[in-house]
Homo-oligomer: A and B are copies of this chain.
């Protein structure tokens, strides 16, 4: 039985992680930290029956040796120091923040508008998009868990990019449930503001998550240099992301070739759900699961060999888009069955 420490467990990803660990046959909770609720227990701040004590983060550093893995669910920017201190103890670290997701300091500066305070650490973190970087994840000690939006986009377009079939300009229209914004109390996320509403934000080439799309898709493609237009929308649901992607493929590539490509690329993947022709992925295909559902639709039914496609990819942003994929990363890194605790 492995033990997990969870730093920052009172946000939505933290408590989701605790619930996933409760179902995991080989992993159990060691300790849980919370700055704002230290001294209380988890059942005081979430509607769960588990009375784990919430300790402050500084106590956790001394207790690193009690656990086999530390999951960092800290706010962006707070993970860097925590990752340094935990990794120095030799414990495995899986960081759910954005602090180590980009490949280098330039990209970080471009997307986060600040200097990374430990840029030398960036190359030591594996980007934990399991289906694409599984080999690097095996045995890894430092893993950066991917962002929620990029997981749908990268999994949805990876086969095309890898094959060199992905057109240069990619338009992604994404819709995310409100839990993606975290458990902070901002006006925009109040029930009355978000309910019966739909709010586009940071449309175009503005959202930080584009950095992860560029990293992955440019990285796996022979032609690279993709141009992204990415428009996220705040959706009045609690959980789930749906990305509608408008792409082109080279003349001569047929729908059937594309379907074969996806089927081969994801053959045997336990968490990829490829939809048959005629069906389109919905949130419902993936909420409360660790799956990513992907559908492929040619834009114009009257032009069977047309070059324009609509790829839709969905996930549960708190599971495959965060805590579930973190568990999947742990399973791979520790050499367990990759699906353990994720059914």
Which residues in A have some Cβ–Cβ distance to B below 8 Å? 12, 22-23, 47-49, 171, 173, 175, 177-179, 183, 185-187, 189-201, 203-206, 229, 231, 233, 235-240, 242, 244, 246, 273, 280-285, 287-288, 291, 293, 297-302, 308, 310, 312, 343
Is A12 a contact partner of B192 (Cβ separation < 8 A)? yes
Max chain B CB contacts within 10 Å: which of A198, A199, A205, A301?
A: A198
- Chain B neighbourhood of A312, CB < 8 A: 200, 203
Q: Smallest CB–CB gap between A249 and chain B, Å?
A: 14
6 cross-chain pairs, A with B, having the tightest CB-CB distances, nearest first: A204-B299, A173-B173, A47-B284, A205-B300, A191-B194, A178-B191
Distance in angstroms between the alpha carbons of A206 and B297 in the assembled complex = 11
Q: Which residue of B lies closest to A169 (CB)?
A: B308
B contact residues around A198 at 8 Å (CB): 175, 235, 237, 240, 242, 282-283
Q: Are A343 and B300 in contact (CB under 8 A)?
A: no
Chain B residues with Cβ below 8 Å from A343 are 22-23
> A220 vs B240: C-alpha distance in the bound complex, in angstroms?
40
A198 to B177, CA, bound (A): 10
Distance of A189 Cα from B183 Cα, bound (Å): 11
Q: Chain B residues near A298 (CB, 8 Å)?
A: 204
Contact A282 B205, beta carbon cutoff 8 Å: no
